[in-house]
A and B are shown apart, each in its own frame.
Chain A
Amino acid sequence: MSGNHLAGLAADIVQQALAAGATDAECTIAEGDEFSANVRLREVETLKEAGSRGAGVRILAGKHTGSAYTSDLSDDGIRHMVRSAMELAEITTEDPHAGLPDATDLGSIPGEMGLYSNDVEGLDTELKIDMARRAEDASLRADPRITNSEGASFDTHVGHQAFANSRGFVGEYRTSYCSLSTVPVAREGESMERDYWFTMARALAGLEKPEDVGRIAAQRALRRLGAVKVETKKVPVVFEPRTARSLVDHIFDAVHGVSVYRNESFLAGKLGERVASDKLTVIDDGTIPGLFGTSPFDDEGVPTRRTVVIENGVLKSYLLNTYTARKLGLKTTGNASRGLAGNAGVGNGNLYIEKGAGTPEQLIAGIQDGFYVTELMGFGVNIVTGDYSRGAAGLWIRNGELAFPVSEVTIAGTLQQMLFGLEAVGADLEFRGSMAAPTLVIAEMTVGGR
């Protein structure tokens, strides 16, 4: 992939838009190479390899916006894209809050952020297949009840992002990641269950060992065997980190600038108020080197930063781009996010719940009767009202210990009750994506079963 060429092209496209009559313009270009190897029952199942690129432009004609994208980066393709965006500015409505960030807000975090490692590029295909094979093999060998597998996959992606706007911003950065996952199937009698485990890193050297990935995946599938449906009752609910992460996602939706200005969130209008138990602190930090939500600037050319969203239960900040900040009379938090088409939305950096104290074993030790949730299903969360009702599977807690597997149940309550009912936060925070949470204990939810 070419270096300065991409940022230079983005800046050129901005100039073309101005020449075509735009009063302001911004351009994003993304290039990427992907590779994926899948192995199932120790044999190669698929190999996929390709590269692609695309550009998107958003123009302003006064306070009217229009946007367009293309995967055709020829001169003709770009001319057509710019013309398409200009055409659309004629049908949008004048919006007093539309516009690029103020020049003083633009910028990029200097220095190495650990987003790209050259050990991901040019990896030997056989090595990649071997990583997947080792992970699956470890899961298949873990126990005779692991009778089948949906396979293992090793994936890499190397990307190059460039952004320019008519207020003078030009920036670009490279990213890489690789990941390894496997999905074993366990069977005993009539009961068949699957689960998965994965590892993901910016550099090959950052991955967990394939054997560990396979072994953990197998343990997870095995402990689900013979799951039963329990009686409907109200009990304490413990989310392991993999499911606790989804609560971070719901908090993100609730502090998302668009939901807030539209009054479409149960946290809208609550800035400075207590919204959760004092055990809860939520941070968004797009600057932590090497993590998956890290970048030197957001998708409007504003530097990323560390934002305290909730501190000891008090709502401190929403997550905003330039537009939503203007709507709310606030400053952007450097959380603009966009694909190639349309206006910038809001995205998270590394959004996480700050860790507390205690291992999962210590946290469940005091629970006589409760539910340890290892999987959540469905979309039953309403950010407007906070109503929460999702399918769940996991392990029942009896006398402070994990006693037996449970499935085909629901857990329900409201996000408000869950946030205020947060009784304990574990020390086991780790990042397997751009959102993360340690083990969380919620005082009471309704488990729906028999």
Chain B
Amino acid sequence: MHFSESFFARRFGITPRDLEKYLAEALAQGGAYADLYFEYLSTSAISIDESIVKSASQGVSLGVGVRVIAGERTGYAYSDDLSPEKIRKAARVAAHIAAGPATVEKVSLNEGQRRNLYPVITAPTETAFTERVELVKRADRAARAYDPRVFQVQASYADSLRQVMVATSDGVLSWDRQPLARLNVAALARDDGGTPQRGHAGGGGRVELSFFLNEKTPEHFAAEAAREAIVMLDAVDAPAGEMTVVLGPGWPGILLHEAVGHGLEADFNRKGVSAFSGRMGQQVASPLCTVIDDGTMANRRGSLNVDDEGHPTQSNVLIENGILRGYLQDKLSSRLTGAAETGSGRRESYAHIPMPRMTNTFMLAGESDPAEIIRSVPKGLYCPDFGGGQVDITSGNFVFSASESYLIEGGKVTRPVRNASLIGNGPEALKYVSMVGNDLQLDEGIGVCGKEGQSVPVGVGIPTIKIDRMTVGGTA
């Protein structure tokens, strides 16, 4: 597709010459680099509660962010008005970070190579609401039908279509159309007069609406949420202290996101404030562990054709056979350290400055049979599902919360236990990985990563793994 057919050219009549002029204005005070990020975001959300579709909303937000880099300094301004006067005003405000005569010669933009990792013809956001509302109604019915002990169901469906365009003073001109959709189901169950328990499931991706009709149906997520709530009705107190922990495949990959992913973002390492700073080439995990961050996986929630700085995403090896191999770079860090860009510059919206971020982070499969992994544990905890996690990148301590877990007794998974947090230290925890399963799974598409107040969609994945030593935060 030629630029003239791109969204911003068609809708707002923007030309490459206009963009070159805005960039020149941004660099007029002596900045060394500038970029423009245009965004037009359409969203919709529908939710059902008590079998009543109580809320439906849709909306539009648009704007442009202008960034100027001068040495280690960044100037940033944005406008939610795409008129030339407002864009030029934002460019002048951002330009003030530098003080001096312009040093960059004329900018000329080149359209980059294009690919499409999510060839979605009709984005869910562009479909009829009558089709989308059926998803939450079906989820509600299915969760209630799962078991008579289910007494409350809430299902929410949200989608967005983000049109973006990036122009940089390096000459990059790229644009992308980024669809995203997600269905979530939460179910509450209780025995007669007993304490309620909650179960949760959800998923989606950069997909057509048919994904929810043919691949992961509302009934699939509903049954999973209801099953988790019912299981938890029999939960006993979780154990406390150090023990062997087995993580199930899929979403428990959030361990990698917290334990190593954030600590390998280049901004923290450039500044020397990460527990992983200066450890390149060192052993930071057991030799069984190879961890990848890959922004190019088809239709995944964390994937992007180009990152939010206009650079194509790629597959990056973070840890190879336990050895630290790479950091995740954004434009600023790669400029300052001379490291190659990794396609990891992301931002929440036009109102935010890009930072190095993860995309889809996972561990490669190993050779162990998952059943064999469980059989090898005399006493421990098996965790197939988690809630959220958090990390202190400086000390390296991270925590994540098991939302479904079981005791392992005598090599068998036995009783479910109540919600407990697991805590560990990033550069240490993965050294205790003693078995890696052959069953790599990616999560179903629910991840949201927060960093310095900015949220972006991400994916994670992991095979079944055994960690010989980790602290479990129960009470028993």
A interface with B by C-beta (< 8 Å): 40, 43-50, 52-54, 56, 65-72, 77, 80-81, 84-85, 87-95, 98, 125, 148, 150, 185, 192-194, 224, 227, 229, 232, 262-264, 266, 340-343, 375, 377-380, 382, 384-385, 387, 389-391, 393, 407-413, 446, 448-450
Contact = CB atoms under 8 A, between A and B. Distances in A.
B196 A264 contact: yes
B59 interface: yes
Given A50-B93, A342-B45, 15 more contacts: A43-B72, A49-B93, A67-B55, A87-B129, A93-B48, A262-B50, A341-B45, A377-B423, A378-B400, A378-B421, A382-B419, A385-B196, A389-B475, A412-B421, A412-B475
B397 interface: yes
23 contacts: A40-B271, A43-B72, A69-B61, A70-B59, A88-B57, A89-B56, A91-B133, A93-B53, A224-B395, A341-B43, A342-B45, A343-B55, A378-B421, A379-B388, A380-B420, A389-B401, A389-B474, A390-B473, A391-B399, A393-B397, A412-B474, A412-B475, A446-B240
A40 B420 CA distance: 37
Nearest to B473: A410
A54 B395 CA distance: 40
Interface string B391-426: 110110111110000000000000000111101110
B339 interface: no
B57 A384 contact: no
B376 interface: no
A88 B400 contact: no
A410 B421 contact: yes
B348 interface: no
Given A150-B271, A263-B152, A81 B59 contact: yes
Interface of B: 43, 45-46, 48-63, 72-80, 90, 93, 96-97, 129-130, 133, 151-152, 154, 188, 195-198, 238, 240-242, 271-273, 275, 351, 353, 387-392, 394-395, 397-401, 418-421, 423-425, 471-475
A107 B55 CA distance: 25
B273 A380 contact: no
Contact of B241 (A84, A192, A390, A448): A448
Contacts of A90: 129
Contacts of B197: 384-385
A448 B79 contact: no
B79 to A, nearest CB: 7
A93 to B, nearest CB: 4
B473 A408 contact: no
Nearest to B474: A412
* Across the A-B interface, the 5 shortest Cβ-Cβ residue pairs: A410-B473, A391-B399, A69-B59, A378-B399, A232-B241
Given A229-B471, A264-B152, A378-B401, A44 B73 contact: yes
Contacts of B48: 93
A446 B475 CA distance: 6
Contact of A45 (B73, B275, B390): B73
Nearest to A43: B72
A91 B473 CA distance: 45
Contact of A193 (B61, B394, B475): B394
Nearest to B471: A448
B387 A380 contact: yes
A225 B463 CA distance: 36
